[in-house]
Each structure stands twice: as C-alpha cells, then as structure tokens.
Amino acid sequence: MVEQTLLPEQHEQLLVKTVPQMVDAIYRLAVRGAPAIGVAAAFGVLLGIQDQGGLERSAFIEHVHGVCDELATARPTAVNLFWALNRMRARMERDEAAGADVEALIGGLFEEAHGIYDSDRATCRRMGEIGAELISDGHSLLTHCNAGALATAGMGTALAPMYVAAEQGKTIHVFADETRPLLQGARITAWELMQADINVTLITDSMAARVMQEGKVDAVFVGSDRIAANGDVCNKIGTYGVALCAKAHDIPFYVVAPLSTIDPTLADGSLIPIEERPAAEITEGFGRRTAPEGVATYSPAFDVTPARLVTGLITEVGLIETPNTELIRDALARGHQDAT
C-alpha cells in the first residue's frame, strides 16, 4: 500500500506482511479512510492465516477469530473496519456450517476479502456518477480531509464525484481544507487533485467560512467514517464546523459514503465512539515542537455533524436527501436487495 504518512514529499510503497504490521499501519494512518481501512482489515485476515493450513479445523477457526479481534483494536471509530471483519467472520461461519475443511475455509476467506476489494471499487464509481449529477460546469467545491482514491480501493468517496465530473468535461475548482493536525487535506487531497489535473486551491481550516462568505463555494462534499441510523455523520474533526458554515450560507452539504459506513445499531451520533489521538500530533506534529512543554491537549480525531445539516447522503443506491431514520432504513433495504 502507499505509505500515506510520507506524502507528498515521498511516494513510497509500504509492504505489510503480518497482522501486527497491519494494525500498526491502520493506527498510525499509513492507510486511512473508512473504505480503505475495511479492505486493509480483510486483507489483514489473509495475512493472519498464511501458513496456518496445517492447523486442526477447530484450532484454525479459533485462530481466525483471534486475528479478527487483534485487527479490531487498530481504530475505534471507522465502522468499515468492523464491517469488513464481521464479513470475514460470517463467511467462515457459513463455510464451517457447510462442512468445509481448513483448505476450503482458507479459500472462502480469500474469496471474501477480494470480494470486499472489488465491491469497494465498483461502489466508488457508482457514487461518483451519482454525485457528479449534482455538479455543474464551472462549480467551485469545498472538501475537508481526504476522501479520494487513497482513502478507498477505488476512486474515492467525496472526491469521486469530482473525478467523474472532470471526466464528463466539466470545468470545476476545489477548495481543499488543510485538515489539522495531520494535514491530510494539504498533504493528500491537494496532491491527488493535482495529479488528476483538477484545479485545486489549498486553504487552512479556519478560512472555510471566509471563502463561503465571499460566495466562492457552490457545494461541499465530504466523506464519513461512520453514519448513525438517523443520518448523523461522523467525519474528520472540523467537518461539523464546515457544515455549520455551509448551512449559514445556504450552501449544499453532501456526504459521500457507501452503505457499509452506516451503523444501524447506533440510533444517533452521540453513541459513536470518538477516537482521541496522541498529544504529540498537536504539540510537535511532523517532529517539530510548536507548543510549550507540558501544555494540556484535547485531540479528538472526529466530530459528528447532525443530520439536520446534511443536504444529502450520496450512496451506491442513490441520493438520500435530508436523511432521517426511515430514509436510511429504506436505503439499507435496497442495498440488501441489490446484494442478493
């Protein structure tokens, strides 16, 4: 995978060979973005079962559950991590019930992991096509954090509509928030859009309200790490502020995320666990101290945007306008029907 912590200065490949290495890669954001984390977790299970074909069937099954438990500790907020691991467990349990031996169990897990990968690529494309319908020629857009190709196995979530719009010949411009404290917008989003020859302007997070006030933003597109059953959206810290500003200036605020990002077990966003990051990411980010020694810090990695601020959720089954519990339940049902 791409070692994202080194972008844009260095474009290096990270070779992950073991489960602890995959846990480390997810935790320290070498791989990040909810869909990409899900795919990485599924492939992490495959790493955990390599050279385990000689185990007895019951021991192999117990080993797989242990691998999934270990991978689940990597990050607490991105629901795709747990969704992918649950899919891997469920596949093994189905094959186990069908009487599969260890070799067949391994084959099933391999097939399931690659199915997750292939499905994410197709889903990204579909969301890009749906979202591009909301973008007109000449539009200026704003995005926060990074939800492009590096955050998925495909062309991205929030950036996918921009890529498709550009493919359609539309001339667009994008404001990319730098996204403190690890600057995913500055390091990754700006780099991705430049690679795609899309006109991008980098701004600090605190400038978003200003460019909206100046009438320079036609719509906001962001991704998500977890969406509650009522449509509350959890995304990178700072997203809530962007949504409030968009609402104040009557600018559409769109969230682009696959159905796998929706967590129907959580009634609303207040129940979403929010990861807190190490103090050093604020006080001495990228190795240079910028705050006094010993200063107290508070560093939640995510915030929650209430559904009332969301103009629409763009999913692979279509646009959910003004999302609520009933509309999201219907979308999940359509997604289940499509899958079967």
Q: Which residues are catalytic?
A: 225
CA 305 to each of CA 137, 232, 310, 326: distance values in angstroms, whole numbers, following the listed order: 28, 6, 8, 18
**CB 148 within 8 Å of CB 158:** yes
**What distance separates the 2 farthest-apart alpha carbons in the chain?**
66
Q: What angle do CA 239, 30, 150 make, to 5 degrees?
A: 65
Distance CA 172, CA 165 (A): 8
Which residue from 228, 252, 232, 227 is spatially nearest to 242, judged by alpha carbons? 252
Total residues found in the chain within this entry: 340
Q: What string of H, E and C letters represents the secondary structure of the chain?
A: CECHHHCCCCCCECCCCCHHHHHHHHHCCCCCCHHHHHHHHHHHHHHHHCCCCCCCHHHHHHHHHHHHHHHCCCCCCCHHHHHHHHHHHHHHHHHHHCCCCHHHHHHHHHHHHHHHHHHHHHHHHHHHHHHHCCCCCCCEEEECCCCCHHHCCCCCCCCHHHHHHHHCCCCCEEEEECCCCCCHHHHHHHHHHHHCCCEEEEECHHHHHHHHHCCCCCEEEECCCEEECCCCEEEECCHHHHHHHHHHCCCCEEEECCHHHEECCCCCHHHCCCCECCCHHHHCHHHCCCCCCCCCCCCECEEEECHHHCCEEEECCEEEECCCHHHHHHHHHHHHHHHC
